[in-house]
Structures are given as C-alpha cells and as structure tokens.
Homo-oligomer: A and B are copies of this chain.
Amino acid sequence: MNDIDRQANEEQFLESYDPSKFEHPSVTVDVALVSVSENKLRVLLLKRQEHPSKDRWALPGGFVRSNESLDQAAARVLEEKTGLRNFFLEQLYTFGEPKRDPRTRVITVAYYALVDHDKLKSDLATLVVPWEGETGGPVTIIDDRKEELPLAFDHGEILGMVVKRLRGKLNYAPIGFQLLPARFTLRNLQDIHETVLGRSMNKDSFRRRMLASGQLLPTGEREIQVGHRPAELYRFITGSAV
C-alpha cells in the first residue's frame, strides 16, 4: 500500500511542478440540443466549414475555459449558438478516444439539452434535423428530405447515447415537460413520450400514471379552437427533483 501510494503521489507531485511531463489534452464540451416537433425528435447541428470533417454536421461545441465549470461551459456554448438562456441541461458522457479528432488529443464532455421547439429562433429551425434509429449505438441523422446527413467526428455515437439516455430517463424522471411550453395538455405530453420512446402508448394508463405522479397541476384553463372537445391545460409542478 505505501509503495503504491507513494508512487501515485509522486506522479501528482511532479505533475504539479512540471506540466510538460504529461501531455495536456484539449477539453471541449459538445451539446446536443434536443427538441420535438411534428412528432419527430430533432437535434441542432451546425455544418462545419473547415477541416477536419469539413461539410459534415457537428454538435455545437467549444473549449472549456479555465475559469468556468463544465456545466457553465456547456450552457455558455449553447447560449452563444442559439441565444437560449433557459433550458434543461445534463451531462451525458465523456468521449476521449485518442484519435477521435485527427489534429490533436481532444477530450469532449458531451451534454444534452431539452427545449420547447417553438422557443428556437426560426433561423435556427432550418438547422434542426430529425433522426431515426434505435438506442445505444451510433445514430443516423436525416434531413426533412429524408436524406442522410454525414456527421462530424464521433457525433453519431454521441447522439446514439443521447437517445438511449432520454428513453431511459423518461421512464422514471419527469423530463417530458422540458420539451413543451409552460401549459400543455395530457395529449401533448403523451405525444412527447411516444416520440421520444418511439412507440405508441395506452391513453388511459398514461393519463392515470401522469395524474397519479403528483407532478401535474391543472390550471382550470382549456385549449381553444381545436375542432373537438378541448382538453384541460396543465403545468408541471416545479421544484421537484429532476
């Protein structure tokens, strides 16, 4: 124990006084901004103008600055690229294969963010693309003309993990409302769940589950001009754990 321990501390001691002993990688954050519209899961991608991965589509990202936390870096990057200030943001996974960026060692901490699609500026909306695919592994992105878009770096892999995390988390955490406006109907919420999970759900038990969760607050207001019986509008009870 003592040998092992001394050795470990010597490494750290040397490191602190001789930064050249270990190569310091670049550290970035990449953020998958996810929204839902027209029953499609969508993510914000930017087309790269420079090599490497020129003309491929990439998640918004940027370097982590020396005075900011990882969460702050992710929030800053997203605000810089979209103007958005309020969104659900959660760290996803850190990707660090030595050759994931051909230039130099770049370790990226991936985040995902959720937002009501209507809050995105219209000039950004054109950049939002739907995706299809199963959970877990790399994901294929298609545009509105159903053409597959080439992704930069390992961003397809990142997006696959985003889908998996979202689907897993939706089953036990109230995050669906992050993809909706402040007031919404139970049908709106079910559409979100069905889109994210990629399967249709039973209306009756979905209603029961949501109402029994204690997370929904009826507003007394109703939809208008819907061509059928209007549904009650609900709010999510804020302050509860996410």
Residues on A facing B (Cβ under 8 Å):
1-2, 4-6, 8-13, 15-16, 19, 22-27, 46-50, 60-70, 80-81, 91, 93-98, 103-105, 107, 109, 123-124, 126-127
A94 touches B69 (CB 8 A): no
| Contact partner, A64, options B80, B107, B109, Cβ 8 Å | B107
What residues on B are CB-neighbors of A67 within 8 Å?
98
The verdict on A22 contacting B123 (CB below 8 Å), with A4-B46, A4-B81, A94-B91 known, is no
What residues on B are CB-neighbors of A81 within 8 Å?
4, 8
A66 touches B25 (CB 8 A): yes
Which of A68, A96, A105 counts the most chain B CB atoms within 10 A? A96
What residues on B are CB-neighbors of A22 within 8 Å?
26, 63, 65
A96 touches B46 (CB 8 A): no
B64 touches A96 (CB 8 A): yes
A63 touches B11 (CB 8 A): yes
- Complex Cα distance, B76 from A11, in Å, reads 15
User: Apart from A24-B25, A107-B107, what 9 extra A-B contacts exist at CB < 8 Å?
Assistant: A4-B80, A5-B46, A8-B62, A9-B49, A11-B62, A16-B103, A22-B63, A66-B105, A91-B94
| Contact partner, A25, options B60, B62, B64, B98, Cβ 8 Å | B64
CB-defined A-B contacts under 8 Å, sample of 14: A1-B126, A9-B49, A9-B50, A13-B50, A22-B26, A23-B65, A24-B25, A24-B26, A27-B27, A66-B105, A67-B98, A68-B98, A91-B93, A94-B109
B46 touches A8 (CB 8 A): yes
Which of A10, A13, A16, A124 counts the most chain B CB atoms within 10 A? A16
